[in-house]
Amino acid sequence: MRPRGLWWVGVGVVALALPQVLPLYFTHLVLLTMIYGLSAMSLDVLAGYTGLTSFGHATYFGTAAYTVGILTTQHHLPPALAAAAGVGAAVLLAAAYGLLATRAVGVYFLIITLALGMGTWGLAYRWSSVTGGDNGLPGIPPLDLGLPWSMAEPRNLYYLVLAVFCVAAFLLYRLVHSPFGLTLRGIRESEGRMRMLGYNTWLHRYVAFVVAGGFAGVAGVLYAFYNRFVSPPDLHLAASAEAVLMVILGGAGTLFGPLAGAGIVVFLRNLVSAYTQRWMLILGVVFVLTVLYAPQGVAGGARALWARWRGHAPAPRPQAEPRKEPVAEP
Amino acid sequence: MSAVCLRTEQLRKHYGGLRAVDGVDLEVREGERRAVIGPNGAGKTTLFHLLSGEVPASGGRILLFGRDVTRLPSFRRAALGVGRTYQVTNLFPRLSVLENTLLATLGLRREKYDPFSPLAKHREPMEDARRLLEEFGLWEKRDWPIGSLSYGEQRQLEIILALAGRPRLLLLDEPTAGLSPAETQAVTQLIRGLDSRITVLLIEHDMDVAFQVAQRITVLHFGRVLAEGTVEEVRANPEVQAIYLGSGEL
């Protein structure tokens, strides 16, 4: 077997063994890491690969979670159906919001996604009769799919989340390494050139937006059934910003880096807050250090270290800006 | 006489009060090699932006292969068979040489929408990219990032990207800008060696290159066509001489 395949088998064995050897508390943290990691990875498709930094990614995560909450607690739908509806709602919302947001790029895109996210948060916060308002929606049932294992038991839920995460991560991995994924990176680098090569770049950006929203929806559904409770902070701007933070910490455009970024955020929040209320301060320091000393994030830094350990210098990083010639003409 | 490939009628582009392109009538026949020359600010690059569809026209019409494309976006014109290069190198800097080329060979194929199978599975675009890179001697450097290529190689890649879609009309915006004399000669030979069915429109500051490559020359000045004709006619034109006298380029 190739070393790469061996490596994956190793990761798989560790992931399967974790809940058996780790204390329950840490199983919870790994589970949360997978949920937030999936959301951050889907954002990476948009922010890292396509170059569209969305500050409203929690909107799709939260909408899926709310859909599950509303359908299970108020309409008593079976969990499996509510889960499908949750993903569907995220996709539909992304398809609608995407029409507005993908008309812009750069900082304008960022502002539009932020505004749309805040609007959706306002809806969750104020539309009390449906969303429970500030109180949120407690009492979401466990994700029982008719399997012999109860999903109220965190270790069982861990394996379900692990399975869903693996399938989703596999699909995202294939996406970014496919021709379509390459077109997204091309758009990030030079959209004008892409159009001249025959690409309807808007369509590619729009599809990336909807795909990212859909996978965030999958994460949101898992979150709703894990937490058994949704409330406005789940789709607040702060949650969206946290997703961006995970992507940058882990390394934008590395796909699995943001999973590490999610792990850092989840573990810091839960472990450090046991000792001090100022865990945000620690997170801030980690963030500043990352941006200063590993601008490519954890994944980029690890790659550079690996290359150095293997004895050859890392491949020369080209400048972000193409070389400009002095000759200019209107 | 061969069919008309490109025709513009009173084509205009105004930026506020600036008339960058101000009523240009142009007719280029299929297979023709046409150079567009003119002093800085004559509107040559703006004309190219209008032809490629990257900038909307303020007025007038553009006909490509007999079809009115004035309102067509650039990606649709690319699908009709327009390829172009840029005066300021416009590549994908953080992608490898091969990835740059693959984006060009995928551009007009349906496989570009495939979100699942790996790039290497797509034989035809990969083979096209390999053939092009081998032809230009860049296949050995296929995994290099663009920033590691020499400037001359980057200019070559500009042309590779424009050729990958098998264009019928090729717009070359100063392909030799910033190149050494030897590199300039190589690019000149390359353009001369292009398939004779490809129509080439070329902006060039280097008159030697323009005269070697083109059969006919259009001179732009302040957004208007000042003169048009064969190399000899343009050379002998007193108005053209007057414009170029100060710069000493002709």
Q: Nearest CA of chain A to the CA of B124: how many Å?
A: 13
Determine what percent of chain A is predicted with pLDDT higher than 90: 72
**B62 & B183 share domain:** yes
Are B178 and B204 in a shared domain?
A: yes
Q: Which residue has the higher pLDDT, B209 or A181?
A: A181
Enumerate the residues of chain B whose CB falls inside 8 A of the CB of residue A192: 54, 90
Structure tokens at B225: 């066509």
Are A179 and B107 an interchain contact pair (Cβ–Cβ within 8 Å)? no
**CA angle in degrees (0–180, nearest 5) for B247-B249-B250:** 120
Over residues A281-289, mean pLDDT: 87
Q: What gap in Å lies between CA A99 and CA A96, rounded to an integer? A: 6
β-pairing verdict for B33-37 and B18-29: unpaired
Residue with tokens 């020369």: A316
Mean of the per-residue pLDDT values of chain A? 90
pLDDT tens per residue, range A65-101:
999 999 999 999 999 999 999 999 999 999 999 999 9
- Output the pLDDT for position A321: 43
Task: Mention every residue, 6+ apart, whose C-beta is less than 8 A from residue A162.
Answer: A15, A16, A34
The DSSP letter of residue A79 is H
Q: Are residues B212 and B248 in the same domain?
A: yes
Window 167-196 of A: residues touching B by CB (8 A cutoff) are 171, 174-175, 177-183, 185-186, 188-190, 192-196
Chosen domain end from B119, B134, B166: B166
Q: Are residues B141 and B205 both part of a single domain?
A: no
Average pLDDT over residues A126-147: 90
- Point out which residues pair with B221 in neighbouring strands: B224
Question: How many Cβ atoms are within 10 Å of A274's Cβ, its own excluded?
Answer: 7
At A290 the pLDDT is 87
From the list B167, B231, B229, the residue with the least C-alpha distance to B199 is B167
Which of chain B's residues have a Cβ under 8 Å away from the Cβ of A197?
75, 78, 103-104, 107-108, 161, 164-165
C-beta separation of B186 from B155 below 8 A: no
Sheet holding B199-203, edge to edge: B82-84, B169-173, B199-203, B33-37, B216-221, B224-230
Amino acid at B218: T
B171 and B250, same domain (yes or no): yes
**Alpha-carbon gap, residue A297 to A248, rounded angstroms:** 6
Provide the residue range defining the domain that includes B16: 1-81+167-250
Residues B182 and B231 placed together within one structural domain of the fold: yes
Q: How far is A204 from chain B (nearest CA, A)?
A: 8
pLDDT in tens, A17-68: 999 999 999 999 999 999 999 999 999 999 999 999 999 999 999 999 999 9
Closest-CA residue to A262 (of A294, A297, A296, A226): A297
Q: How near does any CA of chain A get to the CA of B10, in Å?
A: 20
- Span A4-14, mean pLDDT? 88
What's the residue count for chain B? 250
Instruction: Answer yes or no: are the C-beta atoms of A319 and A285 closer than 8 Å.
Output: no
Q: pTM for the complete prediction? A: 0.91
HSE (side-chain half, CA atoms, 13 Å) at A307: 11
User: DSSP alpha helices (H): ranges in A76-232?
Assistant: 79-101, 106-126, 128-131, 154-176, 179-189, 191-196, 201-227
In a domain, B219, yes or no: yes
The total number of structural domains in chain B stands at: 2
> HSE (CB half, 13 Å, CA atoms) of A306?
7
Please identify, among B117, B141, B166, the residue that sits at the C-terminal boundary of a domain.
B166
Say if B104 falls within a structural domain: yes
Q: What percent of chain B has pLDDT over 70?
A: 97
Whether the CB of A319 is below 8 Å from some CB of chain B: the reply is yes
Same domain, B100 and B152: yes
* pLDDT recorded at residue A302: 86
pLDDT of B217-239, one tens digit each?
999 999 999 999 998 898 888 88
B33 and B67, same domain (yes or no): yes
**Alpha carbons within 13 A on the beta-carbon side of B229:** 10
CA torsion angle for A17, A23, A26, A27 (degrees, to 10)?
Answer: 50
What mean pLDDT comes out for the span B92-97?
95
pLDDT at A322: 42
pLDDT at A191 over 90: yes
pLDDT at A126: 94
pLDDT of residue A150: 86
Q: How many CB atoms lie within 10 A of CB B33?
A: 22
**Are B151 and B28 in the same domain?**
no
Would you call B165 and A198 a contact, using CB atoms and an 8 Å cutoff? yes
Task: Flag if A325 and B106 touch (Cβ within 8 Å).
Answer: no
- Count other Cβ atoms within 10 Å, centred on residue B30: 17
Q: How many CA atoms lie within 13 A of A165 on its CB side?
A: 25
Of A285-294, A311-320, B5-14, which range is least confident?
Answer: A311-320
Q: What is the mean pLDDT of residues B14-32?
A: 92
Nearest residue, CB atoms, A186 vs list B54, B79, B95: B95
Q: What's the whole-number mean pLDDT along residues A203-209?
A: 97
**Residue among B40, B114, B119 whose CB faces A329 most closely:** B40
Residue in chain B closest to A322 (alpha carbons) equals B93
What is the model's pLDDT at position A314? 47
Q: Do both B35 and B71 map to the same domain?
A: yes
Please tell me the predicted confidence (pLDDT) of residue A1: 55
- Judge whether B86 lies within some domain: no
Average pLDDT of every residue of chain B: 91
**CA gap B118, A178 in Å, rounded:** 5
The pLDDT of residue A265 is 93
> Highest mean pLDDT: which of A13-22, A85-94, B137-146, B152-161?
A85-94
- Provide the ipTM: 0.91
Identify whether residues B180 and B67 lie together within a single domain. Answer: yes
Q: What is the CATH number of the domain that holds B63?
A: 3.40.50.300
Q: How many CB atoms lie within 10 A of CB B63?
A: 16
- B197 at the A interface (CB within 8 A)? no
In a domain, B67, yes or no: yes
The residue out of B121, B145, B166 marking a domain boundary is B166
Q: Which residues pair with B170 in a beta bridge?
A: B83, B200
Q: How many CB atoms lie within 10 A of CB A286?
A: 16
Burial class (CB within 10 angstroms; exposed 0-12, middle 13-18, buried 19+) of A330:
middle
More confident residue, B209 or A95: A95
Percentage of chain A surpassing pLDDT 70?
Answer: 93
Task: Please list every residue in chain B whose beta carbon sits closer than 8 Å to the beta carbon of residue A254.
Answer: none
pLDDT of res. A317: 47
pLDDT in tens, A216-239: 999 999 999 999 999 999 999 999
pLDDT at A329: 38
Pairwise CB contact (< 8 Å): A330 & B164: no
Report pLDDT for B247: 52
Q: Which amino acid is at A180?
A: F
Q: pLDDT band at residue B40, thresholds of 50, 70 and 90?
A: confident
A174·B95 Cβ contact <8 A: no
Residue B69 lies in a domain: yes
Q: Identity (one letter) of the amino acid at A47?
A: A
**Residue among B43, B79, B106 minimizing CB distance to A179:** B106
Reduced to 3 DSSP states, what percent helix, strand and coil does chain B have, rounded to the nearest 5?
Answer: 40, 25, 35
For residues A166-180, give the mean pLDDT: 96
How far A133 CA sits from the closest chain B CA (Å)?
A: 39
The answer to whether residues B111 and B190 belong to one domain is: no
Give the pLDDT score at A293: 85
How near does any CA of chain B get to the CA of A64, in Å?
Answer: 24
